[in-house]
Amino acid sequence: MTQPFGSYQNEIYLQGYGGKLPPFTTDATKLEASAEKILEPGPFSYVAGAAGSGATARANREAFDRWRIVPRMLTDATQRDLSTTVLGTRLPAPVLLAPVGVQSIVHADAESATARAAASLGLPFVLSTASSTTIEDVATASGDGPRWFQLYWPDDPDVCASILARAKKAGFTTLVLTLDTWTLAWRPADLDQAYLPFLQGEGVAIGLSDPVFRARLEKTPEEDRPSAILRWVLMVTGTDKSWDRLSFLREHWDGPIVLKGIQHVDDARRAADAGMDGIVVSNHGGRQVDGAIGALEALPGIASAVGDQLDVLFDSGVRTGADVIKALALGAKAVLLGRPWVYGLAHGGEAGVVHVLRSLLADLDLTLGLSGHRSIAELSPRSLQRS
Ligand code: FNR
């Protein structure tokens, strides 16, 4: 039995019965509006923005709304077990922190703060290749916490191998290869401000600290930072890859490999055929293909096609405990939480991330029990109804 996450509610209401106000809202659907008041326009738009018209980001939320939980009563749900194991990583609850780059644009403590927050709750931190903090420094902050590494695939095999070796050495157990962002989408909110954080030197720490990458440069990043930044950005974006190249990653990574950004059932089958260990059904929070299906729409078909061959994870649009329940009932083993904790980081660094995560876990725990489930293993499509 895991710790009762729902007890966060008591901490807020009780405190000598007068209650203790939470540091900021407990409603993840209100975090974006509240973050807009504290962030500069460039960083705010970079986090909140989406591709094109924003239709895919909206579709992500609409897809959740089309499924409804059908609560059951008298199920003895006082004690609940939210724990699970995903690809050898034990999770106290079926939630991971989605890989999010350039965290320095929302808070100076950046990835280290988030990694500490994740570790304090035992949730996996998935470190982005676009991190503003080095692999080694994040590992130090993460301590004994579970950690996975997300790869934007550098178009230089030796640099790629070097980064994978560093991640492995620093205790990152699972590799998440993101497929949907081999080049940046048309993002009007960023374009209208000519704001791309990488070109301002944010989110490039992993490349600029890599010895093999540095050996490629005529001048060190300390001598000529703009040239080093541009070389790195062009190495990790702009070149699409193909299925036959996945074997390279197998050769250089001996742990589980997960493909992130799968939305078509045929791609899910190809991932299984290629011997991948997991997939993340995701559309990158609507940040890449405008006019795409809501990610949750893709989940049931993919889970029934490949769920018995690999671990199916989900992200894009998860905001509440009910959302986690819906994704799990439709076949996900766990979800990745994205923008909400980034807004938490903006509001209060490590403590802000902890508040957002504890709020989600409490909401999940309480909604699970109140809908008549004693464990996440009891969730199935029968827990839901399409409305
Ligand atoms: C992301 N995401 C992302 N994904 C990834 O694989 N590597 C990365 O570096 C980033 N960076 C990133 C930055 C920002 C600011 C955001 C908002 C998102 C995508 C992320 O992992 C996840 O797929 C989405 O955030 C899920 O959508 P929601 O739930 O945030 O709407």
How far, in Å, from the CA of 338 to the mean position of ligand 1? 6
How confident is the model over 220-271, as pLDDT tens digits? 999 999 999 999 999 999 999 999 999 999 999 999 999 999 999 999 999 9
Whether the predicted pLDDT of 346 surpasses 50 = yes
Interval 163-207: pLDDT, tens: 999 999 999 999 999 999 999 999 999 999 999 999 999 999 999
Nearest atom in ligand 1 to 60's CA:
31
Looking at the CA of residue 319, tell me the nearest atom of ligand 1: 29
Nearest ligand 1 atom to the CA of 128 is 9
Q: Does residue 2 carry a pLDDT above 60?
A: no
Q: Which residues pair with 227 in a beta bridge?
A: none
Say if pTM beats, i.e. exceeds, 0.75: yes
Nearest CA, atom 18, ligand 1:
100
Kindly list the protein residues whose Cβ atom lies closer than 6 A to any atom of ligand 1.
46-47, 98-101, 128, 130, 150, 178, 260, 282, 284-285, 315-318, 338-339, 342
Band (pLDDT 50/70/90 cuts) for residue 213 is very high
CA of 63 to the centre of ligand 1 (A): 18
Q: What is the DSSP letter of 243?
A: G
Q: Which atom of ligand 1 is nearest to the CA of 129?
A: 9
Domains and CATH numbers, the chain: 42-69+80-370 (3.20.20.70)
Centroid of ligand 1 to alpha carbon of 92 (angstroms): 22
Ligand 1 center to 215 CA (angstroms): 30
Q: What share of the chain is helix, strand, coil (3-state, %, to 5)?
A: 50, 10, 40
Residue 3's pLDDT is what?
Answer: 52
Ligand 1, atom 25: closest residue by C-alpha: 338
Sign of CA dihedral 274, 86, 324, 35: negative
Is 1 a residue whose pLDDT tops 80? no
CA distance 331 to 302: 8
Q: Got the DSSP string for 293-356? A: PPHHHHHHHHHHHHTTTSEEEE-SS--SHHHHHHHHHTT-SEEEE-HHHHHHHHHHHHHHHHHH
Other CB atoms within a 10 A radius of the CB of residue 282 amount to: 28
Taking the centre of ligand 1 as the mean of its atom positions, its distance from the CA of residue 185, in whole angstroms, is: 13
In percent, the amount of the chain with pLDDT more than 70 equals: 99
Our mutation pick for probing the ligand 1 site, out of 103, 129, 257, 339, counting the most ligand atoms within 8 A of Cβ, is 339
Q: Locate all alpha helices (DSSP H) within the chain, ordered by sequence.
A: 8-13, 31-36, 41-48, 55-65, 110-121, 135-142, 157-169, 188-191, 205-208, 211-216, 225-236, 246-252, 265-273, 295-306, 321-329, 339-370
pLDDT of amino acid 18: 83
Q: Which of 61, 100, 258 to mutate to test the pocket of ligand 1 (most atoms within 8 A of CB)?
A: 100
Residues known to be catalytic: 284
